[in-house]
Amino acid sequence: MSACGNGRSFSALWRVLGAAAGLMALGGCDLGGDSYVKKSETILRQSLRSDRATVRMLAMTAYRELERDIPAEELEVLLGDPFAPSRFLAVMCKAEQASQRGKQRRRDLSYFRVLYNKETDPSVRLAAVYGMALLGDMSHVERLAEALGARGGDAAARRNAAMLLGLLGNKTAAPMLGAYLSDADAAVQMNAAEAMGRLGSTRGLDLLRQVATSQGSPRQIGAILALGRVGLVPRDVVLLREGFSDEKPVSAMARLASYGARAMLGDYTQAARLGEMAAGRPGRDPIDVQDKAMILQLLARSAYGPSWRSVVPSLDDGDPLIRASAAWAILAFDSAEGKKLRDTIDASTATERGVQHLTEGEILRPGTSPESKPSGASPGRKPSGTSPLLREPRAGPLGPIEPIRPQDTRVR
C-alpha cells in the first residue's frame, strides 16, 4: 500500500473497513460459494444475445473489462450485429482477444484487413484498424488521425478515433490529441482528454476536472468517471471528496458517481454506500432502472466485493439491463483484482472485527502512489475502463456512437 502524502485524513476509511469486515465474517469471502458466480456467468453470456442493443453492449463491455474472452459462437453473431455501435464494440473485443491469443495471427490479421475494405460504417472500419495495429500491422494507423481531424466528418468516428489512439499506447500521439481539447465537439474534447491520460499525459486532466465540477453539465458524470480512470492520486481523490461531499448542492447521481470514481482511484471510503443504494434502503424513494444499472456498474468497476450481498438480489431483476449489470459486478468481485481487494480489507481489520489503524492517509488500491500519474496504455488486453456506464435510452435507440462516450452516463 502507498501513502497519499497530502496530509489529509482518510480515517473514515477505516470505519468502513470495520463494516466491510462484518460482511466478510458472514461469508463474504466466498461470495456465497460458486453458485452466484456461475449464475452470473450464465446471465452475462445470455445477455450477449439480448434483443436490446444496450444489453448486448453492456455484456461485451463486462467481458472486456473482466479480461474474459467472449465465447466464439456469440462473438461471431455480434460481429454481424446490424446495430453499428454494437458491431464496433464486437470488433474491438475480437481485436483484443486476438492480440492475446498469439495463435491464428495470420488468419485474424486477414479478417481485419478484409473487414476494413468491405465495411461501410466509419467507426467499424476504425475498429478494424485497431485490430490490425494490435497484431503488428501499423500501415493504416494514420487513418485514426485522419478520422479525428475530419471536423466535418462522421461525429462518432471522430470520437472513436480519439479513444482508439489512447488505447494503442503510442505516447507520441498525445501532442496531437492535445490539439482537440478545444474542439467544437464536446465529446471529442472529453475523449481526447482521457486518451491523453492513458498515454501518460496530464494535459487533459484540467478539462476533465472542470467538467466534473460543473453542476448541470450533461457530461458531468462522464467526466467524473474519466477522472476515476486516469486521474491522479491523491489530487483527484481530494477533488472528488471535497467537491461532492454531503454538504455540497450536487445531484444525487453525480455524488454516487464520485464515490465510484474514488474507489477506482483506491479510496473506498464511500463505496459501501453504492451497495446500500443498489439494495434499496427502507424509507427511500425507489431508484429507476437507469440509475440502478449505473450504481451496479460502479460497483463492478470498483470491484468492491464487500457489497456483494446488496447485489445478489438484482440477479433476479425483471429488467435484463439490471441483471447484466449485477452479473458483471459479481464476476468483478470474484476476479483476481476483487479477491486481492477483499484480502487487503480482511488483513487490515483487527481481531473481533475492530479497525486496525494503518498508516494515516493510505489508500487501499494496490499500485497507486503519491500523485501517481497515468501509466500509459499498453496495446492489447487490459484497456479496461474505456466504456461508459451503459444505460437504456429513454427514447429511441442509442445513436452510432463510441462505447466510451461520456454522455451515455448522464442522468436523463
Task: Count how many domains the chain has.
Answer: 1
pLDDT surpassing 80 at residue 386: no
Look at residue 350 and tell me if it is in a domain: yes
pLDDT surpassing 90 at residue 167: yes
Confidence of residue 370 (pLDDT cuts 50, 70, 90): very low
Look at residue 309 and tell me if it is in a domain: yes
- Within 8 A by CB and 6+ apart from 59, the residues are 44, 45, 47, 48, 50, 324
pLDDT surpassing 90 at residue 4: no
More confident residue, 284 or 397: 284
One-letter-per-residue 3-state SS of 276-295: HHHHCCCCCCCCCHHHHHHH
Confidence of residue 101 (pLDDT cuts 50, 70, 90): confident
Tell me the C-alpha to C-alpha distance, in Å, between residue 115 and each of 4, 171, 313, 383: 47, 27, 42, 22
Confidence of residue 88 (pLDDT cuts 50, 70, 90): very high
More confident residue, 93 or 29: 93
Q: How far apart are CA 132 and CA 379, in angstroms?
A: 12
Question: What is the per-residue DSSP string for 27-59?
Answer: TGGGTTSSHHHHHHHHHHHHHTT-SSHHHHHHH
Cell reading at 215: 453542476
Look at residue 5 and tell me if it is in a domain: yes
Question: What is the per-residue DSSP string for 122-175?
Answer: HHHHHHHHHHHHHTT--TTTHHHHHHHH-TTS-HHHHHHHHHHHHHHT-GGGHH
Q: How far apart are CA 388 and CA 409, in angstroms?
A: 6
Q: How far apart are CA 34 and CA 50, in angstroms?
A: 25
242-289 per-position pLDDT tens digit: 999 989 999 999 999 999 999 999 999 899 999 999 987 655 666 788
More confident residue, 373 or 170: 170
Look at residue 385 and tell me if it is in a domain: no
What's residue 16's pLDDT? Answer: 38
User: 291: domain range?
Assistant: 1-69+255-358+403-412
3-class DSSP state of 347: helix
Give me the percent of the chain exceeding a pLDDT of 70.
75
Q: Is it true that the peptide bond before 234 is cis, omega within 30 degrees of 0?
A: yes
- Closest by CA to 301, choosing from 227, 392, 216, 376, is 227
pLDDT surpassing 90 at residue 318: yes
Look at residue 377 and tell me if it is in a domain: no
Mean pLDDT, residues 96-103: 88
- Within 8 A by CB and 6+ apart from 309, the residues are 23, 26, 28, 275, 279
- Closest by CA to 49, choosing from 72, 79, 74, 17, is 74
Q: How far apart are CA 290 and CA 280, in angstroms?
A: 14
31-80 per-position pLDDT tens digit: 656 799 999 999 999 999 999 999 999 999 999 999 999 999 999 999 99
What's residue 78's pLDDT? Answer: 99
Cell reading at 260: 465510484
What's residue 379's pLDDT? Answer: 52
Look at residue 88 and tell me if it is in a domain: no
Cell reading at 344: 487487503
What's residue 345's pLDDT? Answer: 74
Look at residue 375 and tell me if it is in a domain: no
282-302 per-position pLDDT tens digit: 556 667 888 999 999 999 999
What's residue 79's pLDDT? Answer: 98
Q: How far apart are CA 56 and CA 84, in angstroms?
A: 12
Look at residue 277 and tell me if it is in a domain: yes
- Closest by CA to 162, choosing from 126, 118, 137, 111, is 126
pLDDT surpassing 50 at residue 350: no
The most confident of the ranges 221-225, 342-346, 378-382 is 221-225
HSE-CB for 360 with a 13 A CA cutoff: 5
Mean pLDDT, residues 157-181: 97
Strands 362-363 and 2-3, by their bridges, are: antiparallel
Mean of the per-residue pLDDT values of the chain: 81
Neighbouring C-beta atoms of residue 164, cutoff 10 Å: 29
More confident residue, 71 or 13: 71
Mean pLDDT, residues 303-320: 94
